[in-house]
Structure formats: structure tokens, C-alpha cells
A and B are shown apart, each in its own frame.
Chain A
């Protein structure tokens, strides 16, 4: 079954060199701006409660549960912020069970950073500055654009994602030629995800960076809601050539709101038949006792950035050994 060429790396030596140069450039970018590089555990007792992220469980030598591999270093990095370490960054491997595809690998390299005193708009500018440093100029032939979630749906599908009734979203999917899977039912966010991934995202970031902000409040994740329009969250994503590169938040600091979101996510996990996971009590205590400073944070998919820099068509071409060779 196993093809005999599997021992070879998926990435060429030239690409591995480019990857190393881009890693060095990323560290230089943060060093110049005075961010502190940190390391946090990949294996921890708590896990992300998000129904959209599945953590690998790790067994101890005696068969007991040793913990969960992190899906991002967000929680311990926030504990560091609450402990007063100032702006920080980390470059690490994160692990997401079940994510395997052209632009997905269950083990991925994240560049995650937090900026004390910044909001998501200021952080979007910094993300663009880093990407301009990392990507060859010919990949960014037009200036970056910053559009709202509402606007990108309006342009691609002529629907308002914040207001349109479910029937209108379903009709938009049909018009776009999507045969929707059974079981989306009344899950409005699942319909929005279907439309985004199939009909909106492929057109985003053509010829240059597209920042999308103002995600629906129901998809806030760990972002704060817009105080002037609670229908939307202070969350953004960055796209280039239809590929999502980063996701960022003006971070939620309110411990009670954070606890409520964890609990809501655990209920959603139960409804979807997903296993329960332990909530990060240390994070909640950090938010209560230390207090999260006003900050914005973002996670950048480094493998994808290398892929787009190199003009690759999948992650196997830019990783030494992607999951199929691991």
C-alpha cells in the first residue's frame, strides 16, 4: 500500500531553505518590535471547548489520560499576559484532529502573538506588515483591502449574513450550485460556514491581502462583541488567493463572559455528539485574579504562508513531512 517514495520529504530542499528564511524573518520582525518570545506546553490538562476544534488525547504509559495536545497556545499565552509579561509571541506546533486536506494538516505551525494596548484594527495593520515582509512582492500586486463580513457576503452572494432568514441563506446556496449536506438544519452558523467556504472565500484575497472583520457575534470565539453593534464581534481573518491565513481577536477579557462562552460551547459539543473536554480553569482564574490587559491577538498559519510565498498548491509541498509521510 505505502508508496516506496514516502521516505522523501514533500518539500524540496530549496523550499525548506525558504521556510527557514521565513522563520528567521518572522523572529527578526518581532525582535525589532520588542515582543518577547515565549514557549508554553503543547500537552495540557485542559482543552479547547470549541466544537469546531478536536484535540488529540494523549495516553500515559499506564493507559491513563495524560492530557490534550493544544490546538493553539492561546490559553497559556493569555495566562502569561495576565501575569504581566507584556506583548508576546510564540512559534509552535499545534495539533488539530481530523483536519487533513490540501491546506490542512493535523500538525501545523502557528505564529501566534498578542499585542498589549492594541485593538483588532491596529493588529490587522501589523499582520499586513508581517505578511509584506514574508511574501514576495509579486504575490501582493494590489494594496490590502479591509472588508466587513457583511460586505464580502453581499458582494459574493447578495445576501446579508447578519439579517437574512435561513430560507434566504438556503436559496443563496442553491443559486451558488451547492448541494447542501443533510443535517445543517436550523444551524445558522453552519449555513454561513457553508456559504463562506464554498462561495465567498474562494474569491477573497485575489492578488493581495483581504482582511475580513466583524464576524457574527455567534462566531465570536474568544473575541469581544462590538459594544455599538453586539450582532458582530471584534474578530478578523486574513485571506490570500482564497486561503485563510490568520484569525485574530480584540480579546475578550471579562471572566464571566468567558466562562459563559466555555459553557455554551460545551453544550454545543454535547448536542453535536462530541466528547466533553475539561475547561481551562487556570485561564478563568487568571482572567479573574490577574486580569487580561487590553490586548489583541492573532494566530497565523505559517505553513500556509510558506505555501503562498512559494506558489505551492498544497501543504505537502512546503512541509518536510506532512501527515501522509509522517
Chain B
């Protein structure tokens, strides 16, 4: 079984911890001048998304996690699973609601997403950083008011609710940053 020594620790490295696949977020080498060296590591559990802190004795080894980040196209949801397809091999995988988490509300068919596979099965999905989605519901727009800076809620075609400027109307296409959930701009059709 593949393993990594603490000397190989760097952010992004995928390791197994307590039976779950994790990614290293931050690795700090600490060592009293005449004493035991440690690696103080911030680790994200790839299944739960939670970040925890762990300390390893420098030189110890941990099991590698067979985790692969791959770009896949979202094709459809059957209500319980979200289906993705590799754009070149046409290989398909089905991701559970747990793997989707918060990402589900940004996904529109044909969007390219980053799907994280553990032992071949999807454990998490990241939507594109920017998506373009249509407004399906919002209070009537205030025409001409493009500068006041006020905002209102708007529901998008995927179900996501974001804050938008007051002049936005139902049916418009919006560019949204999925990392912050913030409105960026209107998009012309």
C-alpha cells in the first residue's frame, strides 16, 4: 500500500486518516532546536469537508488515499443521484446527495465540474467557479436604479437564492461566483 512520509507533506496531498480520505490544507514543520520534530498539519476530510488539526512525529508515514480530481460534465439528476460523464472517455459516475453537498444548487446540465473520486467513486463535487444561471423569481425590478447599491433576494433556475441588485428582473441571465455565492454581473443573451 502506498504511503507518504511527513517529509513529503504539502498542501493538496491526499492521505487516509481514521479511515477517511483527506487532503492536506497546511503543513507546518515545528522543532525545538534540540528536540523532537513534529509536523503540525491542517487536514480537510474529503467526505465531510471538515478541517481538523493533527500532529505527526516527523519521519512517520501515513497511508496514501487513492483520490483523483477529475473534470467531468454534469449530465442529469434522477432525484437521488447526480450523474456525471467524463468528456473524453464518456465514463459515467453517479454522485450521492452527500457527495454533492452545497454544490447541488449551482449545477446546470452540461457544466464542467471537478469531481473527486476515491477508489473510483465520487466523494465530492466542486462546481465551476463561475456559472451563468437564469433568474426564476425575484421582486419586480426598479428600473433605472443601477447605482443605489441596494440588494434583494433572487431565486435562480437551479434553486440557489442569491442577493442581486434591485434592477434585476425575472428571466435575466446572471453570472455568479459559486465560491462566495455572490452576484457578479448580468449576461447578455
Contacts and interface: CB of A to CB of B under 8 A. Distances in A.
B29 A193 contact: no
A13 interface: no
A192 B35 CA distance: 9
Nearest to A102: B28
Interface string B27-60: 0111111111110100000000000111111111
Given A193-B35, A197-B38, A102 B29 contact: yes
Interface residues of B, number: 22
Interface string A150-184: 00000000000000000000000000011111111
B133 to A, nearest CB: 35
B60 to A, nearest CB: 7
A219 B35 contact: yes
Contacts of A50: 34
Interface in A53-98: 53, 98
Given A101-B28, A102-B29, A104-B29, A184 B34 contact: no
B11 interface: no
B57 A99 contact: no
A99 B60 CA distance: 14
B7 interface: yes
A128 interface: no
Nearest to B5: A98
A158 to B, nearest CB: 20
Contacts of A102: 28-29
Most buried by A among B36, B38, B56, B57: B36
A189 B36 contact: yes
Contact of A247 (B34, B54, B59): B34
Contacts of A197: 30-32, 35, 38, 40
A198 interface: yes
A181 B29 contact: no
Interface in A137-152: none
A47 interface: no
Given A98-B59, A181-B57, A198 B32 contact: no
Nearest to A190: B36
Nearest to A178: B55
A98 B55 contact: no
Contact of A194 (B28, B34, B36, B60): B36
A200 to B, nearest CB: 10
A99 B38 contact: no
Given A98-B37, A189-B36, A194 B55 contact: yes
B103 to A, nearest CB: 29
A112 interface: no
Interface in A86-136: 98-102, 104
Contacts of A180: 55
Contacts of B59: 98
26 contacts: A50-B34, A52-B35, A53-B34, A98-B7, A98-B59, A99-B37, A100-B7, A100-B29, A101-B31, A102-B29, A177-B53, A181-B57, A181-B60, A183-B60, A184-B57, A189-B36, A190-B57, A192-B35, A193-B32, A193-B35, A193-B38, A196-B32, A197-B35, A219-B35, A244-B32, A247-B33
For the complex of A and B, list the 9 residue pairs with the smallest distance between their C-beta atoms, beginning with the closest.
A101-B29, A193-B35, A193-B36, A197-B30, A190-B36, A247-B33, A181-B57, A221-B34, A181-B56
